[in-house]
Structure 1
């Protein structure tokens, strides 16, 4: 296995991945330090000092919403919740998918048949419709959105991990480990899991972007807590306030561009990691 230094040099040689990593770093720093940059009191509509749908100016660089609140403040604060929900939903999805995939491939038999039918059920179900149904039935809030996205988006990870696990378990050293008395937990945690973790890591990176888009979609449809500031709730408020008819482009573009940038950045980083960790892809370069 190559060292971390070699892997980093190969990743740094991928210009797209490096740009994506820098942009993601800026988003993460914004999410962490936004309370130091802009007080949460700037989000209080009772303290808003701007006019209704005021265009960008020296006082409000990105204009204001229908309540006179700064769009810049809303967008920066929305970074925190959108990233947290997207990352948490992806981790839940990958955890479920990895567990199901490894168990289905390792044990086989009736357990594999049940898990695969269960996976197929979620694969054929429209994920957005199922997420909407779960979000509507459960109590509103970030936790509900995380659960809804995580529960409906794990089958792809399960299929990928299952295929990788079957490939790993066909190798001779797995047979030797079993012949020497290695139990299920030994084989899974000492041999299988370390071999599938690179794939899981890459899949996690690629899936975050989809989770953020799903979160924004659910928020735009009015699901979850409307008082939580996210990019999706900003777009919903813009739509409800007639920003399109009014021509208030400054209300729509900032959250939309933020979503596009963060999704593109996660995709670039994920593709770069895939190239670094997958020998076959490195040979094609």
Structure 2
């Protein structure tokens, strides 16, 4: 390389950074223009606000046993001005349980999304960039994890480690990262051959700096895509575990509400106001993850949008 090329190398290496900034701005604009993604983001935002303000929004303690004015147990009351969704068979306010149940559901969903995106991104980066034995080992581990049955594995983990939320997040993260890793690996295989990577090497940048400073930002949209998928899967899994009776019985969540309603035969007694709101919230959050991920796909794979 001559002197002119050496002087131009830093400028060439800086070009992808500016392009990535513009790409992220275009990415945000696209999501805001996409009606499906906008609806999904709005649903997430509403639930996050409810979760953060739940202690102030809940009219009663969700575990408090309530009584009527004449001293009787306020059990299985229909919706009223005092109890908008009625009460459970133990006299607990359903609205309070629904609002407070938002917190553990969102904690599981968002924590699992961060874990899945982080593990999948790191594994995909290492496998795609270094190749060779590193790629072989990581991809074989990925294949093994993909072969594990999802719900039985989560049940075994929670049965062995306990029903705490962090154990559910751990189990979900262990099982959901391989798909993200495989997609990111394929992207890194292409990115590692680009000119901006060669320019960074010319300037003396180390392999780890190239990997995490120059290559990693280009695959973060894919990480966000699989993180959005993981939110819905994690919340649905936590609800399923709680409904099956493997959840933490001392913590109120949408899953425990469904389990309590089922065990109390609320459906047979026509107490739809007990289990329908919790089920509807779970459906909304899972739907929001699908809508946001659909907006990601339209941006990441525009040819799919053009062909439809």
**Same-fold call, TM cutoff 0.5:** yes
Give the greater-gyration-radius structure (CA): 2
State the distance in 2 between where 1:131 and 1:169 align: 36
Runs of 4+ that moved beyond 3 A: 3-9, 45-50, 175-182, 276-285
**What's the offset of the Cα at 1:48?**
5.4
**More moved, 12-21 vs 232-241:** 12-21
**What's the offset of the Cα at 1:10?**
2.7
Task: For structure 1, list consecutive stretches of 5 or more residues without a partner in the other structure.
Answer: none
**More moved, 68-77 vs 8-17:** 8-17
Task: For structure 2, list consecutive stretches of 5 or more residues without a partner in the other structure.
Answer: 1-18
2:288 alignment counterpart: 265
2:36 alignment counterpart: 16
Residues 7 and 101 of structure 1: CA distance in aligned 2, closer, same or farther (over 3 Å): closer
State the distance in 2 between where 1:202 and 1:149 align: 16
Q: Secondary structure at the match of 2:128?
A: helix
RMSD: 2.1
Correspondence list, 1:168-247, <5 A: 168-178=191-201, 180-247=203-270
2:272 to 243, 249, 268: 249
1:31 to 37, 41, 51: 51
Q: Taking structure 1 as the reference length, what is the TM-score of the superposition?
A: 0.91
1:43 to 52, 62, 65: 62
C-alpha offsets along residues 15-68 of structure 1, whole Å, 9 cap, x if unaligned? Answer: 1222222222211111111111225x5213344556322222232211211111
| Residues 118 and 223 in structure 2, CA contact (< 8 A), matched pair in contact too | no
1:85 to 82, 105, 108: 108
1:131 to 154, 162, 177: 154
Q: Taking structure 2 as the reference length, what is the TM-score of the superposition?
A: 0.85
State the distance in 2 between where 1:4 and 1:163 align: 21
Residues 191 and 284 of structure 1: CA distance in aligned 2, closer, same or farther (over 3 Å): farther
**What's the offset of the Cα at 1:78?**
0.6
Residues 179 and 141 of structure 1: CA distance in aligned 2, closer, same or farther (over 3 Å): same
